[in-house]
Amino acid sequence: MAPNDWIRVRGIGRERFASYMAEFLETAGFAVERAETAEPSESHVRAHLTRTNPAIPTSGGELAFRVYPTSGGAAAEWELPTIVQAAERARMDRFARELLAHLERSVLTESHGTAKVTRIPGSHLPWESAPAIVPPAVSNAGGARGVSL
C-alpha cells in the first residue's frame, strides 16, 4: 500500500474509475487533465480549480490522483494536496467525502450493484497525517484593548 492510498474499486477498471473522478471534478469547477501510462499501468488525474466554488478551500485548488490496477479492479492514491491549512481541513474533508460518495454512486449505477467502492483499511488522506498548519496569531502590539468574545 502506497503512503496516500485512499480508495479501492472492485468490478471496474482503472480507466473507467479515473473517468468518474474527472467527471466529478469538472462539475465542481476544475479543469481536468488525464494521462495514461502503459509502464507502469496507471491513470493520472490532475485538476486545477478554474471556477469559484465556496465548498472548495484554497488548499484544494490543485488536486492530483494516481489510479492503478489491482486484482479485480483499481485503487486510487491521493497525491495533492498534501498539506491543508487547519482552518480549511473541515471543508477539505467534506469535499473528499463528496468525491467518494459520487464515485460510490456512479460505480453502483453503472454496474447495477455488482461493483463496489471502498476506503482502503488503514488509509488516510495526506493532510490527516500531516501536522495542522495554523496561521500565526494576530498580535495585539501597541497595548490596544481587545474585545473579548
User: Contact, 99 vs 47, CB < 8 A?
Assistant: no
Domains of the chain: 5-129 (3.30.310)
Tell me the one-letter amino acid at 46.
R
Q: Is-contact 126 82, C-beta < 8 A?
A: yes
What pLDDT score was predicted for residue 111? 72
**Measured distance CA(82)–CA(126) in Å, rounded:** 5
Confidence of residue 25 (pLDDT cuts 50, 70, 90): very high
Residue 129's pLDDT is 63
List pLDDT tens digits, range 65-79. Answer: 999 998 888 999 999
The per-residue pLDDT for 143 is 47
pLDDT digits (tens, 9 = 90+) for 121-146: 777 777 776 555 555 554 444 444 44
Question: Can you tell me the mean pLDDT for 51-70?
Answer: 90
Grid coordinates 488522506 are at which residue? 125
| String of DSSP letters for the chain | --TTEEEEEESS-HHHHHHHHHHHHHHTTEEEEEEEETTTTEEEEEEEE-S--TTS-GGGSEEEEEEEEETTEEEEEEEE----BGGGHHHHHHHHHHHHHHHHHHHHHHHTTS-EEEEPTT---HHHHSPPB-PPPPP-TT-PPPPP-
- Mean pLDDT on 16-45: 92
Label residue 4 by pLDDT band (50, 70, 90). low
At 125 the pLDDT is 77
pLDDT at position 146, please? 43
pLDDT of residue 148: 42
Residues in the chain, overall count = 149
> How far apart, in whole angstroms, are the C-alpha atoms of residue 135 and residue 10?
41
